[in-house]
Amino acid sequence: MARNVYVEKDVCISCGLCVETVPEVFRFDDDNLAEAYDPAGAAEEKIQEAIDACPVSCIHWG
């Protein structure tokens, strides 16, 4: 079973990095904040790359 991943939206600065690198999992919501709309949409390694690259470390497993 795929792990769940979520964005701490009140910390997201809308840089777009996660949306650009893993569009199968992340997208912008109506407020231009990132959200994980499909946590199972990509390999965990790919998601981990976005987690590690997020400039404000607001993407988390769980």
Q: Which is nearer to ligand SF4, 2 or 15 (CB)?
A: 15
Minimum CB distance to ligand SF4, residue 57 (Å): 8
Is the backbone of residue 32 left (phi > 0), alpha (psi -120 to 50) or beta?
Answer: left
How far apart CA 55 and CA 59 sit, in angstroms, is: 10
Minimum CB distance to ligand SF4, residue 41 (Å): 15
Size of the site for ligand SF4 (CB under 6 A): 15
List, in sequence order, every beta strand (DSSP E) within 1-62.
5-7, 26-28, 34-36, 59-61
Residues forming contacts to ligand SF4 in the complex (CB under 6 A) are 7, 12-19, 34, 54-56, 58-59
